[in-house]
Amino acid sequence: MNYEYHPLANIFPLIEGQAFDDLVADIRTNGVREPIWMYQHQILDGRNRYRAAKEAGVKCELRTYDGDDPVGFVVSLNLHRRHLTESQRAMAAAKLANMPLGGAQYRSANLQTDAQSVSQSDAAKLLNVSTRTVAAASKVKDGAIQELTQAVERGEVSVSAAAAVAAMPAEQQAEIVAAGHDAIRMAAKAKRAHGKPQTGPKADAMRQELKEASERGASVICTSGRLLLAAIEETESLTQEERDLLSQIAAAISNHNSMECF
């Protein structure tokens, strides 16, 4: 029998790739050592074990959660069992925030009992992250392309970097994500710096970033380089050598095939 996943279970990312293959192998050898928890006829906790057990052809024990704090229950189990990064916890909190409580069905000891939905501050508290980080995660949830969101949920990219890139058009996001995680971090830094004149140590750091971008190829230069270029050109403390470097990079960007850059 196939079971659907409860909305509360879906605030946490599924494990994929090698980690899932390892779980399948372990269950095939040792069986399912923890039960699958059901709530409202859906899986509240144990989606990964359930999927792996089906893949391995192994039966798993089902138990029904009959407590009055399903929110606290599923959050506690996942935080205890999984080594989630701050960004991963923030993404879970962003999904939990504004989720309808539906009267008592989602009521938690950690939430206001008269609330109609989970507030962002309550979600942040439950997932042990700041409200600012949850706000960044909400920008990712609402504006990022799927590949960028998944990179954050896998713990590969910080939510702050992803939030900056999520503010860009989808085509630029896709270009940056395809260029790799370094490109995401560079583009995020450039996005935050754009329009802000940079001087002193910060300007020096940005010049170094741009110099490194010039050595990486069009996939990184095209979007990240353009943004860095615009930000750095606003400072007046550039040497002639640095201005020559900027001119060379600007020319390289302009000369690249439009299919690569845009």
Report, as an integer, the average pLDDT of 191-218: 60
Residue 105: the pLDDT is 47
Tokens 């939430």 correspond to what residue? 111
Is the predicted pLDDT of residue 56 greater than 70, yes or no?
yes
Q: Is the pLDDT confidence value at 260 over 70?
A: no
Q: Two tokens at 2?
A: 């196939």
Angle at 42 between CA 71 and CA 25, to 5 degrees: 95
Give the residue carrying structure tokens 């929110």: 71
> Is 152 a residue whose pLDDT tops 60?
yes
Total number of residues shown for the chain: 262
Q: What are the residues whose beta carbons fall under 8 Å from the beta carbon of 243, sequence distance 6 or more?
A: none
Please give the C-alpha separations between residue 33 and each of 36, 53, 59, 67, in angstroms, as whole numbers.
10, 11, 11, 22
pTM: 0.71
Instruction: Identify the band that residue 258 occupies on the pLDDT scale cut at 50, 70 and 90.
Output: very low
Q: What is the CA radius of gyration of the chain?
A: 23
- Rounded to an integer, the average pLDDT of 177-194 is 79
What pLDDT does 175 receive? 86
Instruction: Determine the Cα–Cα distance for residues 142 and 149; give it in Å rounded to an integer.
Output: 10
**Phi and psi dihedrals of 37, rounded to 5?**
-95, 125
Return mean pLDDT, the chain: 80
Domain ranges of the chain: 168-262
